[in-house]
């Protein structure tokens, strides 16, 4: 139950970030909602396509689609207020990322994927929405450029796989993965940690 609510919180945060980008690109109301909804559910859809879950769960879920759509609509109308909440959205987004990475890995294991594939599918579920958002609005995906985002997602998925393979119940694996990824992401935001870029002489 708590998991279900946290999932919707994560989707809402993802959708808000997508809709904000849509507003910045001056898309119309439908475009803003499409980019918002896609950012919210895109990671889960890619996960399900890779695992052969047909049709992808998110496409048939009123709570998920309703949340993503409602938040996108809200952002379209009150984007000024939302801009002021950017910090809060970043925190919620970190929760969503950790949760998606962890649930993605568990779902992959449940569908018979091996440990390595489960790590990667968990990571993909966490970052897929953001990558789709940036491809749609014609930007080089932000998370490829700087910022510690995908690394916590991948580590969390690996943790979940390790804990789950060690025989512990999935719930414990989920909590460990989510808490770890969210904490690492928030620490990275707070301390401005980033990865090195290539050394290219000017």
Residues engaged in binding its own copies (CB under 8 A): 22-23, 25-32, 34-35, 45, 49-52, 54-56, 59-62, 65, 76, 79, 108, 111, 113-114, 116-117, 120-121, 131, 135-141, 143-146, 150-151, 194-198, 200
User: Would you give the DSSP letter of residue 55?
Assistant: S
Radius of gyration of the chain (CA): 16
Which is closer to its own copies, CB of 56 or CB of 70? Answer: 56
Longest CA–CA separation in the chain, Å: 54
Q: Is 151 exposed, middle or buried (0-12, 13-18, 19+ CB in 10 A)?
A: middle
Within its chain, how far is the Cα of 37 from the centroid?
Answer: 12
Look up residue 200 and give its two tokens. 């290219």
Which is closer to its own copies, CB of 141 or CB of 179? Answer: 141
CB of 81: closest distance to its own copies in angstroms?
13
| Contacts for 68 with CB less than 8 Å, ≥ 6 apart | 11, 12, 14, 15, 36, 37, 40, 41
CB of 118: closest distance to its own copies in angstroms?
8
User: Would you give the DSSP letter of residue 196?
Assistant: P
Look up residue 103 and give its two tokens. 């649930």
């Amino acid at each position: 139950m708590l998991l279900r609510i946290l999932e919707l919180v994560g989707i809402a945060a993802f959708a808000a970030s997508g809709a904000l980008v849509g507003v910045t690109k001056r898309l119309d109301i439908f475009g803003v909602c499409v980019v918002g909804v896609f950012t919210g559910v895109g990671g889960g859809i890619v996960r399900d396509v890779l695992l052969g879950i047909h049709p992808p769960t998110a496409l048939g879920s009123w709570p998920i689609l309703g949340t993503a759509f409602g938040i996108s609509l809200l952002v379209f109308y009150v984007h000024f207020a939302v801009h002021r909440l950017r910090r809060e959205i970043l925190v919620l987004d970190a929760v969503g990322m950790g949760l998606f990475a962890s649930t993605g890995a568990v779902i992959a294991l449940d569908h018979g994927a091996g440990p390595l594939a489960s790590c990667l599918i968990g990571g993909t579920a966490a970052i897929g929405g953001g990558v789709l958002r940036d491809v749609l609005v014609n930007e080089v995906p932000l998370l490829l450029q700087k910022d510690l985002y995908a690394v916590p997602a991948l580590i969390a998925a690996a943790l979940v796989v390790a804990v789950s393979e060690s025989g512990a119940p999935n719930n414990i694996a989920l909590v460990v993965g989510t808490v770890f990824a969210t904490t690492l992401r928030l620490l990275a935001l707070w301390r401005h940690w980033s990865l090195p870029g290539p050394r290219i002489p000017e």
